[in-house]
Chains A and B, each alone.
Chain A
Amino acid sequence: DQQVKQNSPSLSVQEGRISILNCDYTNSMFDYFLWYKKYPAEGPTFLISISSIKDKNEDGRFTVFLNKSAKHLSLHIVPSQPGDSAVYFCAAKAGAGGGAQKLVFGQGTRLTINP
């Protein structure tokens, strides 16, 4: 049962344009969502997060939008840069605090930024 789904395995975007990565979830108990970025031969690194009490969180070029009614979140990167080329994982958990809550990850989307 895939509780977190990233339906696009790959995405190609022109440098300077907006990249939009999508994620859907099925578990209504999830109330905290995170995006991780992964380069080859490295572990995933935290990028940005959002609590279910918000519908938007922004950090520089990165913005995450949450639509709870649709159980959908998206990551916007603008403007996209070549260094943004990586695999992006969406993750979710139930409970924003406490290290005991495990993260459930999507399958990842490989983003390629073309010069």
Chain B
Amino acid sequence: DSGVTQTPKHLITATGQRVTLRCSPRSGDLSVYWYQQSLDQGLQFLIQYYNGEERAKGNILERFSAQQFPDLHSELNLSSLELGDSALYFCASSSLEGGNYGYTFGSGTRLTVV
């Protein structure tokens, strides 16, 4: 157990629907990062929050949004889902001094859009 909890582990939904992925960071970590891994692709950075505020944005679609709550858990909202959104979505967390050890990842949410 890495200490980063992602729910649900699996999600199957239809095109056009909206889903919410949840992440609880490791205790004490203030930063949360969301990454997408599509088939045969690397980990693509989506967005980062630090202590409730958005800090960095990557290749995140306008149909996607995220937030980090006061208790530091984060949610990634995916709307108007398309078949191409099927992927593994990882959440990671780091402390302020994330430095040498980078991030701690959760086990991911596998989203299948049918």
Contact = CB atoms under 8 A, between A and B. Distances in A.
Contacts of A46: 101-104
A25 to B, nearest CB: 13
Select the residue from B4, B42, B50 with max chain A CB neighbours within 10 A.
B42
> For chain A, which range describes its interface: under 10, 10 to 19, 20 to 34, or 35 or more residues?
20 to 34
Contact of A103 (B2, B40, B103): B103
Contact of A43 (B45, B95, B106): B106
Given A43-B4, A43-B90, A102 B102 contact: no
Contact of A98 (B41, B90, B97): B97
Contacts of A43: 2, 4, 90, 92, 105-108
Given A43-B4, A104-B45, A107-B42, A99 B107 contact: no
Name A's interface SS.
loop
Interface of B: 2, 4, 29-31, 33, 35, 40-45, 48, 50, 55-56, 58, 90, 92, 94-108
Interface of A: 4, 6, 9, 32, 34, 36, 41-46, 49, 89, 91, 93, 96-108
